[in-house]
Amino acid sequence: MIPTIDMAVQDLALHHDPDYAGRVTRFFKVGPGSYSEHDQFVGITVPILRCLAKKYHALSHTDIETLLRSPLHEYRLLAILIMVHNFNRASTIDQDAIYRLYCNNISYINNWDLVDQSAAPIIGGFLANKPEKINTLETLARSKNLWERRMAVVATFYWIKLKSGHEALHISRLLLQDPHDLIHKAVGWMLREVGKRCSKDLLDEFIVTHHREMPRIMLRYALERHTKEEQSRFYARNI
């Protein structure tokens, strides 16, 4: 049986959990004026959504786009998980179509978990060997949109996993003065991964050069795998 959007929505409705929705919103700022103010949660866990993504991976791009444009957070996340699942198994032509679907709906990829699940595999994976790679990431990093800036740095996780930290360091430099703590955390996270997966010396060199520009939380995230003595030295420099 060919899966349809109606079948997916019926399955999703079976897993709505208002109590869980109330609990999960503590991980997202949903108050007035906050980044998730207009997001709606129905309380479906990520493991369930991952199972549904495998079940409905053959949805058409039109149906995936319908889910991606839903006001319900978990429906958008299901669309993202389907796209990642399919991208990782797709031919070059199909990857191009998924990337275009992603970019055409980038305004709906509007919370940190949606970005973090998709930026590295889809943006990083698509741009991997393309000459416009850095220009595209720079454009995202300079965007006025918070989520596009987060996409820019999280996308570099793709190359970090391949033992290349230079893309992450380049985008991190562009975001050192970013005003939002969600960018501070994302940059610190990628810097930590550079130290873990690529080169601790490369990370330390970056921190020595930029520690006075780095927001405290960015520095804390970047130094999580350092010894307490090393952390103390860098924190003292950062004061």
pLDDT tens digits for 13-63?
A: 999 999 999 998 888 888 888 888 889 999 999 999 999 999 999 999 999
8 A C-beta contact, residue 161 and residue 128: no
N- to C-terminal Cα separation, the chain: 62
Q: Distance between CA 232 and CA 230 in Å, rounded?
A: 5
Q: Distance between CA 62 and CA 200 in Å, rounded?
A: 44
Give DSSP secondary structure letters for 137-201.
HHHHHT-SSHHHHHHHHHHTHHHHTTT--HHHHHHHHHTTT-S-HHHHHHHHHHHHHIIIII-HH
Q: At what angle do helices 92-104 and 73-87 cross, to 10 degrees?
A: 160
The domain locations on the chain are 1-101
pLDDT tens digits for 59-83?
A: 999 999 999 999 999 999 999 999 9
Phi, psi of 231 (to 5 degrees): -60, -45
Class of 1-101 per CATH?
A: mainly alpha
For position 50, what pLDDT does the model report? Answer: 98
The model's pTM: 0.95
Q: Which residue has the tokens 């570099």?
A: 156
* Helix H or strand E encompassing 29: none
For position 145, what pLDDT does the model report? Answer: 97
Copy the structure tokens of residue 1: 């049986």
Q: Distance between CA 40 and CA 109 in Å, rounded?
A: 14
Among 27-31, 55-59, 99-103, 216-220, the least confident range: 27-31
